[in-house]
Structure 1
Amino acid sequence: MHELLPYINQQLTGILGDIKYFIPEIYLSLLFIVVLVTDLLFGRTSEKLCRIVACAGILLVITKDVTQLPLIGDTLQLLFSGMLLQSHTSIIFRLIIDASAFLLLLYFAWDEPLKSHRKKLSDLYAITIAAVFGLHLMTMAANLLSVYLAIEFVSIASYLLVAYRSENAFSTEAGLKYVLFGAAASAIMLYGISLLYGFTGTLNLFDPNFITGLIHVNAAGSTFALVLVLVGIGFKLSFVPIHFWVPDVYEGAPTPVTAFLSTIPKVAAFVLLINFLTPFIISPQWKAFDFGLYLSVIGIITMIAGNFAAVMQNNAKRMLAYSSIGHTGFALMAMITFNGQGIKALEYYLAVYVIANIGALMLVTYFETITGSADVNTYKGLGLKYPAASISFVIILISLTGLPVTAGFTGKVFVFSAVYSVYQANHNVWLLLLTITGAVTTIVSLFYYIKIPLNLFVKRTDSISEPIAQPNYILITSIIISIVLVLLGIFPNWLTQFL
């Protein structure tokens, strides 16, 4: 026992020294407890108070994220004996996650079906805060154990969010499908992790013994293990072929929960994938598994499958679900460059995608309240009755398509530029195929996004009903989002200077 005392003292000293890099996550955990206690103390009357506490707390967490930037600089900092990794890139992505979470916490109370739930929304705010904490851990995971725990943390919170409206059979079915597919993906990933541990004798991705151990293993065995782990990460990213759960779950979940699932877990999963791949990319000895090749193939198939499937959809939520799959494939293009320019392009692209997608789903809620349906054919003739919401919807869809002069166009230009610059250096044919596929699927996306403007402004209906008064919160927020997307498209440096 006595011989362990110096080791224990050393570990405690290391932990205390690392806490300064973990302040935002400590605030998130405290915020979760405060929201939970507020709900317990005030019961059914606590909904508004929990929302105020949650939103104020997230803003405080954002300020703590910002203070981490000068603290970490451009260095990589391993925390808690290599369990977590702090870097400038992970902080930027956490800022995107937290800013989006703030917007979603506001949005939850604007959805009437969700707001009318008999349990109210206090529990929903606590679950969302817990999910954000898990997303923070995903962006920092540098050990296979922390990778698994972070993904499970987010998955459990996501299952609860999807099935929150338990009295709704469609929502319950979506939650059950999500749990079953998620459990299968987790089991597969855990098997892959166990194989990697057996091959290397370590769970630390940045331990030199990790890559060295895999190099001395049969290439087929290491490839099999890595593919199994990528299945678990791919489940969160929803790239092909682990995408089949997305349309049903997105359609069955409450629309604000769909906005959550389609945005910030993807952001965290991309950072997790970057952390997972970094030891392999920086190791000159690693040759067994060509991540660039396999991810290029996945990116091409994902872009094609997502965008062409979206063309056949008339339900706005299913259409946006398939389009999110296509966006995942496009974002993979930036990551496959494996350089700083590609990561910066990915940061910008995901930031504007998250804003636009949340705005689009907010307007789906807005028009669903009017028509009682998420079918785009029910939007006929509503453009002139609700001009502000309709114009905002068009601008947001233009950004999602990637047309000038919106931020979505600038984001796609950044991604194409990053990929093409690497192609010029090594003339990798897969990068050329990615670029061509990205351009073609961008054109294809216009065919399904344009359905909504066509129904709003071009097609007419026999109905002569008067406009229905709507709450102004969604309308004002969607207008602000559309203006931000245009301004960031014209002045991208307003955002890129912080990335």
Structure 2
Amino acid sequence: MHPLLPHITDHLTDIFGSLGYFIPEVYLGLLFLVVMITDVLFGKKSTSLCRTVACAGLLVVLFKDLQQVGITLNAQHFIFSNMLLLSPAAVWFKLVIDLLAFILLLYFTWDKKLASHKKGLSDLYTITIASIFGLHLMVMAVNLLSIYLAIEMVSIASYLMVAYRSENAFSTEAGLKYVLFGAASSAIMLYGISLLYGFGGSLDIVLQSTVTELLKVNPLSSFFAILLILVGIGFKLSFVPVHFWVPDVYQGAPTPVTAYLSTLPKIAAFALLVNFLPPFILLGKGTGFDLGILLSVAGIISMIAGNFAAVMQSNVKRMLAYSSIGHTGFALMAVVTFNQQGLSALTYYLLVYALANIGALVLATYFSNVADAEDMDGYKGLGLKYPVAAVCFTIIMISLTGLPVSAGFTGKVFVFSAVYGIYQQTHSIWLMLLMATGALTTVVSLFYYIKIPLNLFLKRAENQDIVYVKSYNSVILAVIISFALILLGVFPDFVLKYL
């Protein structure tokens, strides 16, 4: 008798028992098939129909996410033979991802250059739904195999999205660069996984036996393997030194795709990092290698490199690309606390950052549509022509900077509070350096974020014959996001009490 046959019943029982905790992902899989079939049946003219189906389906997925809040209140659930972990944090990360994904699905057709694609956008909606499925897996992955598969699923979808405008040479170049960097980081990560599997004897990182086996290995070897895996996760987070792809890809990709890349994969990667680190924190205490120091150094360098590079940019998307590296470094401050307060601060910060960043890119699309403005100089004098959009842009820039009374300010206060609470217990010089760097780079960020309202309101346009073009959708979304950023800044408990 084959040695696996007696275990088939147990495995099938585990799979069917796990499906009850996997309902949102089942719906996403079905939604992917429905959108793809809709595209096949109706062809190039199915963009609006695919968009409607995708948005309606994602609302159903959001409802299923909310239902999972109740089943994770008192317990977390390992599913599919410990491949995935459904925890309260995972559910909230999924809710944030799906909410932002719904906004992005609406936003895709508002970009004039992307909407003019001769193939239509039906394929893009199909790819995005598949990517969201991968993001859900990233949020829950706690096995080295599921981690790798989830990251690759999101990466492949992202490559297709970046190069979607294949007739545009700049977009194609950005897609090629993204693929090359992604393939390299994937190979490095896979090598790290193979080493860790060889050292620990298991792909399951939550098993105590895995950590016990790793303690028997030379500490330098085991942490070299962990470092290689962090390269793959860091590629999605875009912290230094795996950030080189960000400026060119963000600038070359269609603006809605840039909004996607700068928010959803980054949120999922932070969730993955939070799941990946705990076993190896214990390993570090036993071997003398401190992952907190490693992440602190990455956070400090990312904040400095991202913010100072952003000061020198004139293209709006490129400036936001470098600033996103700085925000990643700041968010790493919350990760290195390794406690519940830090996790709550991280979730809140990522939500308000993602909202503000999407709002900024929506308005970048708006001004590109109405005035063909790609660089900051093109914004000169537009504040009086388009006052509502300009005021919203200013509010969003204030939130991204972290000034009162915006949600960005509140998010930074929560992160600083979490780090300072740990600093009072440990008096770690690295935590002090993180807080000092975070404060310094917040001031530096004001110098490049303020350029946009400065050009909108205080500088005169060289060309005064700008024709007013109506584009209500982008402005309405920008108003909603601006209002939400102020509301969450004044009343953060609307969100924080649930985290």
TM-score bracket for this pair, using the shorter chain length = over 0.9
Contact 1:389 / 1:478 at 8 angstroms: preserved in 2? yes
218-227 vs 244-253, greater mean Cα deviation: 218-227
CA positional deviation for 1:156: 0.2
Q: Which amino acid aligns with 1:49?
A: L
CA contact under 8 A between 1:141 and 1:147: conserved in structure 2?
Answer: yes
Deviation at 1:279, TM superposition (A): 1.4
Please give the residue correspondences for 1:334-349 in structure 2 after superposition, counting only pairs within 5 Å. 334-349=334-349
1:468 aligned residue: 468
Alignment partner, residue 312 of structure 1: 312
In structure 2, the residue matched to 1:196 is 196
Q: Hey, what's the Cα distance between the residues in 2 that align with 1:150 and 1:286?
A: 30
In structure 2, what is the Cα distance between the partners aligned to 1:456 and 1:101?
29
Q: CA deviation at 1:368?
A: 1.2
In the other structure, the counterpart of 1:151 is 151
Matches within 5 A, 1:83-482: 83-282=83-282, 286-482=286-482
Offset at residue 3 of structure 1 (A):
6.3
Counterpart amino acid of residue 50 in structure 1 = C
Q: For 1:159 and 1:284, locate their aligned partners in 2 and report how far apart those are by CA, in whole Å.
A: 35
Pairwise CA distance, 1:295 = 0.4
Further displaced range: 278-287 or 68-77: 278-287
**Number of residues of Structure 1 aligned to a counterpart in Structure 2:** 499
How far 1:469 moved relative to its partner?
1.5
Native 8 Å contact 2:215 2:283 kept in 1: no
1:325-357 CA distance string (max 9 Å, x none): 000000000010000000000010000011000
CA distance in 1, matches of 2:130, 2:18: 22
Amino acid at match of 2:402: G
**Normalised TM-score (structure 2):** 0.98
Unpaired segments ≥5 residues, structure 2 = none
Worse-superposed segment, 100-109 or 212-221: 212-221
SS at 1:85's partner residue?
Answer: strand
Shift of 1:4: 4.4
Structure 2 contact 107–256 (Cα < 8 Å) conserved: yes
> Equivalent residue of 2:353, what SS?
helix
Shift of 1:10: 1.1
Question: Whole-Å Cα distance in 2 between the matches of residues 157 and 4 of structure 1?
Answer: 35
Q: 455-464 vs 106-115, which deviates more?
A: 455-464
Post-superposition Cα deviations, 1:107-151, rounded to whole Å, max 9, x if no partner, equal 001001100001100000000000000000000111101110000
Whole-angstrom CA distance in 1 between matches of 2:297 and 2:14: 42
1:18-59: CA deviation from partner (whole Å, max 9, x where unpaired) = 111100000000000000001111112211110000000111
What's the Cα RMSD here? 1.2
Is the CA contact (8 Å cut-off) linking 2:385 and 2:468 kept in structure 1?
no
* Cα separation, 1, equivalents of 2:462 and 2:81: 67
Alignment match, 1:52: 52
- Contact in 2 for aligned 1:94/1:136 (Cα 8 Å): yes
Identify which range, 388-397 or 215-224, moves more after superposition. Answer: 215-224
SS at match of 1:286: helix
Counterparts of 1:355 and 1:28 in 2: how far apart (Å)? 23
Displacement of 1:75: 2.4
CA distance in 2, matches of 1:165, 1:134: 23
**Are the aligned partners of 2:284 and 2:290 in contact in 1 as well (CA < 8 Å)?**
no
Which shows bigger deviation, 242-251 or 287-296? 287-296
1:456 Cα deviation after fit: 0.4
Distance in 1, matches of 2:2 and 2:145, equals 29
Distance 2:136 2:462 in 1: 50
Superposed CA offset, 1:79-104 (max 9, x none): 11111111000110111100010000
Q: Assess if the C-alpha contact under 8 Å between 1:51 and 1:125 holds in 2.
A: yes
Aligned to 2:25: 25
Contact 2:349 2:408 in 1 (8 A): yes
Segments of 5+ residues of structure 1 without an aligned counterpart are none
CA positional deviation for 1:467: 4.1
| Distance apart, 1:184 and its partner CA | 0.2
Normalised to the residue count of structure 1, the TM-score between the two structures is 0.98
Query: Structure 2 CA distance, aligned partners of 1:200 and 1:73?
Result: 32
1:8-19 → structure 2 map (5 Å cutoff): 8-19=8-19
